[in-house]
Amino acid sequence: MKALIFLETNNGKIKKSSFELVKWCADNNITTQSVILGDFNDDIKTQCETYGVENLTVFKGDTSYSPLNWAKSLSEEISSSSANLVLGSSSVLATDLFSRASIISTGNYVNDCTELNLEGDKLTPRKPLYAGKCSCAVEFMNENTKFVLMRPNQLPSGEEKSVSTNISEKELSNSEASVKATGVSESTSDKADLTEANIIVSGGRGLKEAANFKLVEDLANVLGATTGASRAITDDGWVPHSMQVGQTGKTVAPSLYIACGISGAIQHLAGMSGSKVIVAINNDPDAPIFKKSTYGIVGDLFEVMPKLTEKFKSVL
């Protein structure tokens, strides 16, 4: 088996979740070729050398996302590298890219996976269904190229493994595209993206008004965490929709998820139930969030959160 790993970049760096795939392949003795479409700089090169990316193809040209041209270039690299497995980390861009490339390459495509099991040459991804109420093992019925997108933070973290990266350069396909990205709205936050964050503190309707979201930010700042939110308060305009965690927002799986004033609607639980440790703060002992939480604090969040923040300040 040979794998082609799509290394997705953001703000001039490779996403941490991409290196989880590099490590998984190394742990399973799978020969790899990695590919970057678009942005490439010295920092990215250093990341590749630090995290064990041995062979890398960089497609250079117009770095803005052009769905058809990127899909064509990725398909060309699959063919030239003879890869029969293509791996990427689930994101809006990768979901769009892989679905297009799999059609061009007549491959098998599955996304939003939470497990990646390999026995011999048999690959069996697993993914959640019905808002996380159950999961299914995916069996590929033919030998065509397999396209698999993994949720971030589901595989062991990438480890430093210093190598000299062998880099080859190619030109991105530049055919006339019917669809292309005309702009990207970049986050101004220096915190990790929600999908890759190790710690997340989220707020919900229990905060009562937008000004009280500062309680979430204060706790997150002490923990070095990223802030999230329920759909209820993003719909009300308290915070941007980019901060929404849930079935119609972002799916996250941090090491620690702290839910503050969030009741636990099924749509929200679907987006965060993969978290390793869940702490819920709510004044309703029957709130659904407690059924999923590792630790629950029943109490007034306006009393609990400031005390938690001060306690963490004293020990961190």
Q: Give the Cβ contact number of residue 12 at 10 Å.
A: 11
Identical fold, 2-171 and 194-315: yes
Q: Encoding tokens for residue 14?
A: 């490779």
What does the alpha-carbon distance between residue 194 and residue 219 come to, in Å, rounded to a whole number? Answer: 16
What does the alpha-carbon distance between residue 270 and residue 251 come to, in Å, rounded to a whole number? Answer: 7
DSSP assignment of the chain equals: -EEEEE--EETTEE-HHHHHHHHHHHHTT-EEEEEEES---HHHHHHHHHBT--EEEEEES--S--HHHHHHHHHHHHHHHT-SEEEEE--HHHHHHHHHHHHHTT-EEEEEESEEEEETTEEEEEEEETTTTEEEE----SSSPEEEEE-TTSSPPP--B----EEEEEEPP-PPPS------------SPPGGG-SEEEEE-GGG-SGGGGHHHHHHHHHHTPEEEE-HHHHHTTSS-GGGBBSTTSB----SEEEEES----HHHHHHHTT-SEEEEEES-TT-THHHH-SEEEES-HHHHHHHHHHHHHHH-
Specify the pLDDT at position 186: 60
CA dihedral over 204, 208, 214, 218, signed as positive or negative: negative
Task: Note the CATH number of domain 194-315.
Answer: 3.40.50.1220
Q: Encoding tokens for residue 5?
A: 């790993």
The residue ranges of every structural domain in the chain are 2-171, 194-315
Homologous superfamily (CATH) for 2-171 = HUPs (3.40.50.620)
Contact between 201 and 91 under an 8 Å Cβ cutoff? The reply is no
pTM of this structure = 0.85
Specify the pLDDT at position 130: 84
Specify the pLDDT at position 281: 98
Contact between 1 and 121 under an 8 Å Cβ cutoff? The reply is yes
Q: Which residues of the chain have pLDDT under 70?
A: 176-178, 180-181, 183-190
Contact between 100 and 113 under an 8 Å Cβ cutoff? The reply is no
Specify the pLDDT at position 147: 98
pLDDT tens across 66-116, in order? 889 999 999 999 999 999 999 999 998 999 999 999 999 999 999 999 999
Specify the pLDDT at position 187: 58
What does the alpha-carbon distance between residue 107 and residue 282 come to, in Å, rounded to a whole number? Answer: 46
